[in-house]
Each structure stands twice: as structure tokens, then as C-alpha cells.
């Protein structure tokens, strides 16, 4: 999920108006980044993902912009403090590290913070 977060940050920062080709994320190979972009698109966080195959392997891909849901998700986990609190809460409760669980836990932490600030 750390890679998914990095991908969302990169697209948010660099997307202009056309597809981004072969998104490069330090320390991760093309196949790994492409796969995570695919699952982010399937989850509705990216508006497109198109792989290009040759010789029975992916040799290029492109992605589109973040969707509304992608921006919303990223905003919930943008701050490192919130991201780390979310991951820790998930681990403490032995929950699966899925997008839905991350969104739910981050939302609950944000709501708790809002309540605490309003008291």
C-alpha cells in the first residue's frame, strides 16, 4: 500500500492533460508499478490504465488522472502522521490492508480528531 500511495502522489503532482507513460517510482521495477496502477484503476482511483504487451510481458503502460475517489482517498492519507496512524491501527487490530479498510480507518481517525478538536 505504500507503493499505491506513492503512485497516487506522483500522478497528482505530474499529471497534466494526457496519459502518463511508464510511470517511474524509485526502487520499483516497471512490472511492479504497472501492476499497482492496474489495481488502482480497478478500484476506481485512476481513470485509466492501458498496458502494452510484447514477447509475453508488459513493456509499457500508461495511466490517466486521479478520479474524484482517488483524490478523496489520497487526501485522507496525505499526511505521514495520518498514514502511519492508519497503518498502525490496522496492524493493531489485525485487519486486512485493503483500500476499503484503509479508507474506513483513516476516516474514523479523522472524525476522532475533529471531535477531539471541537471539545
pLDDT, tens digit, for every residue of 40-92?
999 999 999 999 999 889 999 999 999 999 999 999 999 999 999 999 999 99
| Per-residue burial over 105-116, b = 16 or more CB atoms within 10 Å of its CB, e = otherwise | bbeebbeeeeee
Give the DSSP letter of residue 109. Answer: H
Give the DSSP letter of residue 111. Answer: H
Half-sphere exposure of 80 (CA within 13 A, CB side): 0
What does the mean pLDDT of the chain come to? Answer: 93
Amino acid at each position: 500500500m505504500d507503493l499505491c500511495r506513492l503512485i497516487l502522489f506522483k500522478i497528482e503532482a505530474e499529471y497534466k492533460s494526457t496519459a502518463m507513460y511508464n510511470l517511474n517510482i524509485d526502487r520499483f521495477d516497471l512490472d511492479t508499478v504497472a501492476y499497482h496502477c492496474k489495481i488502482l484503476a480497478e478500484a476506481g482511483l485512476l481513470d485509466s490504465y492501458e498496458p502494452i504487451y510484447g514477447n509475453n510481458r508488459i513493456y509499457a503502460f500508461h495511466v490517466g488522472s486521479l478520479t474524484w475517489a482517488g483524490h478523496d482517498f489520497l487526501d485522507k492519507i496525505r499526511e505521514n502522521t495520518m498514514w502511519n496512524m492508519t497503518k498502525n491501527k490496522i496492524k493493531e487490530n489485525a485487519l486486512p490492508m485493503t483500500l476499503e479498510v484503509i479508507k474506513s480507518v483513516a476516516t474514523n481517525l479523522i472524525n476522532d480528531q475533529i471531535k477531539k478538536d471541537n471539545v
